[in-house]
Amino acid sequence: MHTFTVWAPAASAVSLVLTDASLEMQQAEGGWWELEVADAGHGTSYAFSVDGSEPMPDPRSPWQPDGVHGFSKVFDTSRFDWSDGDWAGRDARGSVFYELHLGTFTPEGTLEAAAGHLDYLVALGVEMVSLMPVAAFPGRHGWGYDGVDLYAVHEPYGGPEALQRFVDRCHAVGLAVCLDVVYNHLGPSGNYLDAFGPYFTSKHTTPWGPAVNLDDAGSDEVRRWICDNALRWFREFHIDALRLDAVHALADDSPLHLLAQMSEETAALSATVGRPLGLVAESDLNDPRMVEPVSEGGLGMTAQWSDDFHHALHTLLTGERAGYYVDFGDPAVFAKTLTQVFLHDGSYSTFRGKDWGVPVDPERHRGWEFLAYTSNHDQVGNRALGDRPALTPGQLAIGAALVLTSPYTPMLFMGEEWGASTPWRYFTDHAEPELADAVRTGRRKEFAAYGWDAEEIPDPQDPETWRSSVLDWTELDEPPHRDLLRWYRDLLALRARSEDLRDDRLGSLDISYDPEGSWLVVRRGALWVVVNLAAEEAVVPVDGVPPYEVMAFGSAEIVTDGVRLAGHGVGVFAA
């Protein structure tokens, strides 16, 4: 016995289409249609026809085994036998995040294959596995940000039961799971929502076209569709946190913003299940209101990504200044983002052409409310060639030290811990020739504006673009990768045992630096992080550095007037 339901408020008739029958559904309240079918249950294939249309997948489809254009299938989440009854959960704030893309994390590209590396992640010091989107998207290979069936799990990854199994295995070894969800837009291929109801509105526009309808006629059910989705991942799949993509594109003029609504409903569910449930926002607004409580006028997010910190660190190490990096690169800028989160906190943003951001109050906000990183999928994959930072092993070690000893919640992007040589490129697998060509042409035009030869831009549709992005796990035992991996492990172990490094007060550090950018020193309580940014050996002038070397990447020696470090060397010292 199964009751099928669908929201189609303007429809005159809706039919439930099964493999061997088409059954007229009954109209219910609020624009809903329903039908109880006695011999239906787990595994039943179905679709909906609205006013005589061709069969379409369920907007809340839990399972799309035949792709985004195929029939939906009933999936009974209660069938899975969970073994994580003792799992107490983990607060996203302060946890060590590890962002990974299932399709390139392993050659197999599945949840089952990724689970084979969980012991590795535990040994590394990871605490929160952050999965890029798993919602069903077109084709086999893609980033997942063009998903269209938000309740389903991409079948090539293993489908919904594989996700339940993956989360259960993560909890068994002490790892929490964060899932990337995209509510600000849907992909163009397989998107049938307009045929059902007002899921989009022309009241607002986004870079992807009409906005998801959060405040126009019919928006109550659209908001319910989104919030129910979020709660489903927590409740039915035991996910610990959600990473919300580009929340600045959630156009919402309602009295209660969607994020605030989601925050309140998540908090209520957290109290019910008795474990922390987190919401981590990606936001371009540079506004700490994002992480302030709803009761105080905030949006209630647990934490948010901090791109300003990334940009400041990236430019300090690479010297890049193009595009949105234009205002970054100065050591003073890095010092500001290390202590005040945002560079643009009301100041003029050259790239945006206007004043931007709001200051963070160090008395009100904590460092763990912001994620810091040297790389993420955007900052690598959205480069023309999908190339990782072209840095020496020492520079990579410096970046790791500055992130992992910061007062922020740290995040690693898969493979960075061993300085993976593989790029991570933008790849798609669209079946429609016109869509494939539009993606290909659009990407080449985008980077041609920055002076790139169009022929150098990898074709997103070429299978080799995806294949070249798959991590090469054989590198781990090779120099210099193994040395960098050891450095990451040692830093993460130090962070785990050091009270000074677990202090998330924004005022819990001091930083000094060479205005010319050749060195900097960060002090966290009894710990000192001394960095030589120059390529040649140099003495970093440090007054009163502690006599005890905890660890170093490259040679390090305390001398009369400071610390002598190898070129691109970094040392951690303690009293």
Active-site residue, from 245, 307, 345, 429? 245
Nearest to 534 by CA among 550, 554, 548, 559: 554
CA distance 479 to 487: 13
Decide which of 86 and 451 is more confident.
Answer: 86
Q: Does position 454 have pLDDT exceeding 90, yes or no?
A: no
Nearest to 542 by CA among 525, 524, 564: 564
Starting at the edge strand found earlier in the chain, the sheet holding 26-27 runs 2-7, 32-37, 26-27
Q: What is the DSSP letter of 563?
A: E
Angle 423-454-421 from CA coordinates, rounded to 5°: 10
For the segment 333-355, the average pLDDT, to the nearest whole number, is 98
Count other Cβ atoms within 10 Å, centred on residue 38: 7
CA distances from 495 to 43, 199, 306, 376, 547 (A): 47, 45, 20, 21, 20
Of the pLDDT bands very low, low, confident and very high (cuts 50, 70, 90), residue 23 is very high
Percent of the chain with pLDDT over 70: 100
Average pLDDT over all residues of the chain: 97
Instruction: Give pLDDT, residue 573.
Output: 96
- Which CATH number, 2.60.40.1180, 3.30.750.210, 3.40.50.300, 3.40.50.720, labels domain 510-574? 2.60.40.1180
Q: Does position 366 have pLDDT exceeding 90, yes or no?
A: yes
Instruction: Give pLDDT, residue 575.
Output: 81
Q: Does position 387 have pLDDT exceeding 90, yes or no?
A: yes
Burial class (CB in 10 A: 0-12, 13-18, 19+), 351: middle
Of the pLDDT bands very low, low, confident and very high (cuts 50, 70, 90), residue 25 is very high
* Residue-wise DSSP of 503-530: --BTTS-EEEE-TTSSEEEEEETTEEEE
State whether CATH 3.40.50.300 applies to domain 97-190+230-420+475-496.
no
Active-site residue, from 146, 155, 180, 282? 282
CA distance 535 to 188: 48
Residue 282 among the catalytic residues: yes
Of the pLDDT bands very low, low, confident and very high (cuts 50, 70, 90), residue 453 is confident
Percent of the chain with pLDDT over 90: 94
Amino acid at 488: Y
Q: Do domains 97-190+230-420+475-496 and 510-574 have the same CATH topology?
A: no
CA distance 353 to 356: 9
Residue 81 among the catalytic residues: no
Q: For the chain, give every domain's residue range.
A: 2-79, 97-190+230-420+475-496, 510-574
Instruction: Give pLDDT, residue 445.
Output: 85
Instruction: Give pLDDT, residue 73.
Output: 98
CA distance 345 to 377: 25
CA distances from 560 to 178, 511, 537 (A): 48, 21, 16
Q: What is the 3-state secondary structure (H, E, C) of 411-445?
A: EEECCHHHCCCCCCCCCCCCCCHHHHHHHHHHHHH
- Tokens 């709803």 correspond to 294
Q: What is the DSSP letter of 256?
A: S
- Can you say whether the dihedral through the CA atoms of 182, 420, 400, 333 is positive or negative? negative
Q: What is the DSSP letter of 250?
A: -
Rounded to 5 degrees, φ, ψ at 169 are -70, -35
Amino acid at 244: L
- Entry pTM: 0.98
Of the pLDDT bands very low, low, confident and very high (cuts 50, 70, 90), residue 545 is confident
Q: Does position 449 have pLDDT exceeding 80, yes or no?
A: no
**3-state SS class at 410:** strand
Nearest to 46 by CA among 77, 78, 3: 3
CA distance 222 to 214: 7
| Chain CA centroid to CA 81, Å | 28
Length of the chain: 575
Of the pLDDT bands very low, low, confident and very high (cuts 50, 70, 90), residue 72 is very high
CA distances from 310 to 142, 252, 412, 491 (A): 25, 28, 12, 19
Q: Does position 450 have pLDDT exceeding 80, yes or no?
A: no
Question: 129 has which bridge partners?
Answer: 98, 177
For the segment 538-561, the average pLDDT, to the nearest whole number, is 92
Instruction: Give pLDDT, residue 520.
Output: 97
Task: Give the least confident one: 153-167, 348-362, 541-555.
Answer: 541-555
Burial class (CB in 10 A: 0-12, 13-18, 19+), 206: middle
CATH of domain 2-79: 2.60.40.10
Amino acid at 136: A
CB contact at 8 A, 167 and 177: yes
